[in-house]
Amino acid sequence: MTNKLEVRNLTHKFNDGNGVHVLDNLSLDVADGEFVTLLGPSGSGKSTIFNLIGGLYAPDAGDIYIDGARVNGTRGNISYLPQQDSLLPWRTIEDNVVLVQEITGDVDKETARRWLQRAGLEGYEKSYPNTLSGGMRQRVAFIRSLLSPQELMLLDEPFGALDELTRLDMQDWLLKIWEMDRRSVLFITHSIEEALYMSDRILVLSDKPARIAREIEVPFERPRDHDIILDEEFTRLKRDIYHMLRTSDVED
Ligand SMILES: Nc1ncnc2c1ncn2[C@@H]1O[C@H](COP(=O)(O)OP(=O)(O)OP(=O)(O)O)[C@@H](O)[C@H]1O
Ligand SMILES: [Mg+2]
């Protein structure tokens, strides 16, 4: 399999604030069509990795390649769902969804409406974000990422703010959509169960400066069902990862 994303020896330090050394020589890959999850403590540098891949700023050292081309510090190469709700409050749902298409000059409202329908948001096209629930807003933000032309999607804790039941529904919903076209995904979550349920591979980060402490290949067949949490292998992996997270600042 070819790699969609290659991150090589990324090192980054913020010089403002407390001058935190966030990343130290971090490398990772995402293969074409692969679903990879970053799991790590709060403040370990997960969103920073996304901001660097998204080109919001350039790393102090290291290289980022998408489809083999070096993209350090350049924007527009990925579809990015940021950690905070990123809908623009003054735009309707439909106009939020086509925002990226407006930038690339290729607006397709018909497809946008079809996706909103599939996401159970029919009738909300002309509504404003403040009249939707958190889960609905996340679906809108996700559809916007989905309609962006880039083949690599970065999803930063998309379900972090949702209650447990809504979260399970959203996981299934996202996997169903992902399985239709298997885009390459790099996903962030705090939840070990979510990581095991969603991913092909999990990268466990150490506390900062972050590096990949461990890597886990998730063995479960797709399409998956929430019953796998009852599987012995699932429980074993969950326990292993829990221990890794607790000891990930210790050198192997
Ligand atoms: N623009 C910035 N300027 C200064 N420090 C920053 C900046 N962005 C992040 N940091 C610091 O870098 C560290 C990593 O932050 P980051 O947001 O990447 O963590 P995270 O792993 O995404 O955490 P969480 O799980 O809580 O979202 C933190 O200590 C944070 O204070
Ligand atoms: Mg974050």
- What's the pLDDT tens digit per position in 16-55? 777 889 999 999 999 999 999 999 988 999 999 999 999 9
Atom 8 of ligand 1: nearest residue by CA position: 48
Task: Check pLDDT > 50 for residue 146.
Answer: yes
Q: Are residues 122 and 171 in the same domain?
A: no
Is 83 part of any domain? no
Is 168 part of any domain? yes
Residue 249 pLDDT grade (very low, low, confident, very high; cuts 50, 70, 90): low
Q: Are residues 17 and 73 in the same domain?
A: yes
Share of the chain above pLDDT 70, in %: 97
Q: Are residues 61 and 183 in the same domain?
A: yes
Alpha helices of the chain — where are they, by DSSP H?
46-53, 93-97, 99-104, 109-118, 134-147, 164-181, 192-198, 232-247
Residue 148 near ligand 1, beta carbon < 6 Å: no
Best residue among 26, 39, 44, 81 to mutate for probing ligand 1's pocket (most ligand atoms within 8 Å of CB) is: 44
Q: From CA 169, how far away is CA 88, in angstroms rounded? A: 25
Residue 250 pLDDT grade (very low, low, confident, very high; cuts 50, 70, 90): very low
Taking the centre of ligand 1 as the mean of its atom positions, its distance from the CA of residue 127, in whole angstroms, is 33
The CA-atom distances, in angstroms, between 125 and each of 100, 131, 176, 229 are 16, 12, 22, 36
Q: What is the mean pLDDT of residues 8-12?
A: 97
Is 14 part of any domain? yes
Q: What average pLDDT does the structure give for the chain? A: 91
Best residue among 46, 81, 248 to mutate for probing ligand 1's pocket (most ligand atoms within 8 Å of CB) is: 46
Listed ranges 8-17, 106-115, 192-201; the one with the highest mean pLDDT: 192-201
Number of domains in the chain: 2
> CA 226 from chain center: how many Å?
20
Q: Are residues 190 and 175 in the same domain?
A: yes
Q: Are residues 226 and 130 in the same domain?
A: no
> What is the span of the domain harbouring residue 235?
3-78+150-251
Q: From CA 235, how far away is CA 79, in angstroms rounded? A: 33
Pair type for strands 3-13 and 69-70: unpaired
Is 163 part of any domain? yes
Is 172 part of any domain? yes
Domain end: 98, 122, 149, which one? 149
Q: Three-state SS for 108?
A: coil
Ligand 1 atom nearest the C-alpha of 190 is: 25
| pTM of the predicted structure, to 2 decimals | 0.92
Q: Are residues 226 and 201 in the same domain?
A: yes
Q: Are residues 59 and 158 in the same domain?
A: yes
Q: Are residues 156 and 139 in the same domain?
A: no
Taking the centre of ligand 1 as the mean of its atom positions, its distance from the CA of residue 49, in whole angstroms, is 10
What is the pLDDT, as a whole number, of residue 221?
Answer: 95
Contact 77, 150 (CB under 8 A): yes
Q: Who surrounds ion ligand 2 at CB < 5 A?
A: 46-47, 83
181 burial via Cβ count (<10 Å: 0-12, 13-18, 19+)? exposed
